[in-house]
Amino acid sequence: MNSADADWTFWHSYSSLPINFESNALPDSNAPKNWKDVIAGRFGAEYRGYGSACIAGRLRVRPEPGAFGDDGPELPDADRLNYMIGVGYKIGPVTIDVAGMYVDKFDRTVNNQNNATLTGFNGTWKGDAWLASLDVGYRF
């Protein structure tokens, strides 16, 4: 089984981040965002083994790469590539799925601080992530 997916996120609607303090001890801010829409594409495949080469046709392997993103320090994101792989095994009415994902985020440097209005931030956002999942299902 093969699959493809595309997402269009309408980030243009996030035009600013207003912060209004009840106390006058800190000045209010309204950081402009002006984000652009993002399209993410994902492709996947599932291999179902059958016959003597596989464990009674119960083993399934699912590799899947994916992509994309944009941001500021309150949502530290960047362009990225996501690499995922999963394996599922069925025993009667029970299914066991194990998956792993590596998020390869590209470094992103931003220099948009305005000291006069106390808006914007300077910095480099870095980070990668490893995720793992385990799912046990039972079909009635």
- Return the structure tokens found at 112: 């948009």
Can you give the residue ranges of every domain in the chain?
Answer: 1-10+38-120
pLDDT, tens digit, 9 for 90 and up, residues 108-137: 787 777 777 766 667 787 888 899 999 999
Confidence label for 65 from pLDDT (cuts 50, 70 and 90): very low
Q: Give 53's DSSP letter.
A: G
- Write down the pTM of the prediction: 0.54
Confidence label for 66 from pLDDT (cuts 50, 70 and 90): very low
What is the per-residue pLDDT for 127? 82
CA distance 77 to 13: 17
